[in-house]
A and B are shown apart, each in its own frame.
Chain A
Amino acid sequence: SQTIHQWPATLVQPVGSPLSLECTVEGTSNPNLYWYRQAAGRGLQLLFYSVGIGQISSEVPQNLSASRPQDRQFILSSKKLLLSDSGFYLCAWREQGWNTEAFFGQGTRLTVV
């Protein structure tokens, strides 16, 4: 069966520090991978998605970037965090196709102080 791992679960970082959140998927190959940010009252905002190794699509211009160095690994990064980067970040995977559902990791609560 497929599993998705996302870590860390919580993170407190100072303003201006770098960020690296990692997500890995097991039990499937060539999945679509996604990073979302969840803010109160705003649902889940799609930040990045990837349909293959090295292929990243950005939905929202911001202080973050994403990379997919391996087929089942998706990384969310920042060189210098801002206070506004605080939030709950979720990684997800889907099999390729228009009618497939997404499966989510447990999320990372990021607090920038």
Chain B
Amino acid sequence: AQSVTQLDSHVSVSEGTPVLLRCNYSSSYSPSLFWYVQHPNKGLQLLLKYTSAATLVKGINGFEAEFKKSETSFHLTKPSAHMSDAAEYFCVVSEAYNFNKFYFGSGTKLNVKP
């Protein structure tokens, strides 16, 4: 069975400081992993995805994530937060053996303080 856990429901950082949003997955098979962002009253936008190529994945708006199989993690990072990064972020997993399913984590709300 597959599942994805986002360890923090809320994260608060100051503008200009690093961002770390944590995601752990459980999967018996090679997963594909994704990060999505949802701004208030907006739809879901893909930030980046991992599909078994490079373990460090770069996405839009300066975000990146590193796939660590030994830790079953796919944490999202950004070196310097911007006010416009305030949003809700979702980690998503899809497994190779049952790839029709597309499971979301519970989400992390990022607050950026001026």
Contact = CB atoms under 8 A, between A and B. Distances in A.
- Size bracket of the B interface: 20 to 34
Interface string B80-113: 0000000000101011100111111111000000
14 contacts: A32-B100, A41-B107, A43-B105, A46-B102, A49-B102, A59-B101, A92-B102, A94-B102, A98-B95, A99-B49, A99-B94, A99-B99, A102-B46, A104-B43
Interface in A91-106: 92, 94, 96-99, 101-106
Interface string A47-73: 001010000010100000000000000
A51 B104 CA distance: 19
B103 A46 contact: yes
A33 B62 CA distance: 30
Interface of A: 32, 34, 36, 41-46, 49, 51, 57, 59, 90, 92, 94, 96-99, 101-107
Contact of A104 (B34, B44, B105): B44
Nearest to B53: A99
B26 interface: no
